[in-house]
Amino acid sequence: MVALWVATKGTPFFFQARPGKKERIFKIIKFKTMSDEKDASGALLPDAQRLTAIGRWVRSASLDEIPQLLNVIKGDMSLVGPRPLLPEYLPLYNDIQRKRHEVRPGITGYAQVHGRNAISWERKFELDVYYVKHQSFLLDVNILWKTLFKVFLRKDINTENTATTIPFKGTSKS
């Protein structure tokens, strides 16, 4: 936490609005891995330029997710479920993709253990909806077990050659 505080020149925590179950907005908490550096006009620099060295390591080890345990304790999230995305994506979902909000979002999920950020948005949503339809204790245990391997191997953390995930632009409205 101290290293993140120094690297980001401020609080080691990052808070952001995210939609949860039934699209209810809550504040997610994570360790802050990027600085708030801005260009001459006052706009934030691109994510790749703001990601700190310690932040890159924290993300690769998935340690930035640890504070979300507070979201689990508060009841906003679960250990397992579809990852909570950005509120601006809500109007972009088709009816099938929207089903991901029928359950609490999770720190890890079915899409994370089947490709994480290295798969397409469409595939992530297919996997999220599969989870919603097949949710069970055994599936959750399986996902948690696979998550340990993903974290240990540091696989599929980001889309190739990017610091963060490519934004979702929407799909067909079927």
Q: Are the C-beta atoms of 96 and 130 separated by less than 8 Å?
A: no
Half-sphere exposure for 4 (CA within 13 Å, toward CB): 17
pTM, entire model:
0.80
The 10s digit of each residue's pLDDT in 95-150 is 999 999 999 999 999 999 998 778 999 999 999 999 999 999 999 999 999 998 88
Helix axes 121-134, 137-153, angle to 10 degrees: 150
Structure tokens at 103: 């359950």
Q: Which is higher by pLDDT, 150 or 154? A: 150
Assigned token pair, 89: 């994506």
Residue 5 has pLDDT above 80, yes or no: no
Q: Is the dihedral of CA 141, 145, 146, 147 positive or negative?
A: positive
Residue with tokens 């620099």: 45
pLDDT interval class at 157 (50, 70, 90): low
**Distance, CA of 144 to CA of 152 (rounded, Å):** 12
Q: Give the count of beta carbons closer than 10 Å to the beta carbon of residue 165.
A: 18
**In this prediction, what percent of the chain has a pLDDT beyond 90?**
54
